[in-house]
Chain A
Amino acid sequence: DTAVSQTPKYLVTQMGNDKSIKCEQNLGHDTMYWYKQDSKKFLKIMFSYNNKELIINETVPNRFSPKSPDKAHLNLHINSLELGDSAVYFCASSQDWGGTEKLFFGSGTQLSVL
């Protein structure tokens, strides 16, 4: 029973398309995150939601729009995909938003924009 599950695992698409990545956690956590891992393997925070409320938005282009229908789900929608969006996107969750609790990660979505 996966704690943090994200789909799809692989996503290959053309420039200009719109795509979504879904994330769900069954841990009862209040806080969820989206991280981007670039080709050099650097992880960077994109968004953080606490109880469906946006807490962090880290200078991400507005083509990226997170949606949290409830505190167990945080989906990432990307409009007008660009080549530079190719990366691995990780969803994660933690018990609270203080950042002092352990993080639980999804398995990642490898996005390739052609």
Chain B
Amino acid sequence: KNEVEQSPQNLTAQEGEFITINCSYSVGISALHWLQQHPGGGIVSLFMLSSGKKKHGRLIATINIQEKHSSLHITASHPRDSAVYICAVKQGAQKLVFGQGTRLTINP
């Protein structure tokens, strides 16, 4: 079992829908990253958080340290949001452990 589990693995939705992607981890961490990998392969860092909630445009990331769980929400989803979203947690000295990714497809 991977130390970082994401759900769902695949998600297809219609444009405008509210999207939630979940990330659960099994070890103590000091930080959690959400990354976006575009269909072309490039990876962009969306958020780094260690507590609470962060918002950037239509994206919101939350983390519950006690429950070892984080969620990434997308409001008013758009086809350009179609990508793989990857959760990564920081353990120990600098090492990041990655989830398997959630492939999101937003249909017009």
Contacts and interface: CB of A to CB of B under 8 A. Distances in A.
Interface of A: 31, 40-45, 48, 55-56, 58, 88, 90, 92, 97-105, 107-108, 110
A99 B89 CA distance: 9
User: Size range of the interface on B?
Assistant: 20 to 34
Interface stretch (B17-25, B35-43, B62-70, B71-79): B35-43
Contacts, number: 60
Given A104-B45, A105-B43, A97 B94 contact: yes
Nearest to B33: A103
B104 interface: no
A107 B95 CA distance: 21
Interface of B: 30-31, 33, 35, 37, 41-45, 48, 50, 84, 86, 88, 90, 93-96, 98, 100-101
Nearest to B86: A43
A105 B35 CA distance: 10
Nearest to B50: A100
22 contacts: A41-B37, A41-B84, A42-B98, A43-B88, A44-B98, A45-B95, A48-B94, A55-B94, A88-B41, A92-B43, A99-B31, A99-B93, A99-B95, A100-B50, A100-B90, A102-B33, A103-B33, A104-B45, A105-B43, A105-B45, A108-B43, A110-B41
A45 B35 CA distance: 15
Nearest 4 A/B pairs, CB to CB: A99-B90, A105-B43, A43-B98, A102-B45
Contacts of A103: 33, 35, 45, 48, 96
B48 A100 contact: yes
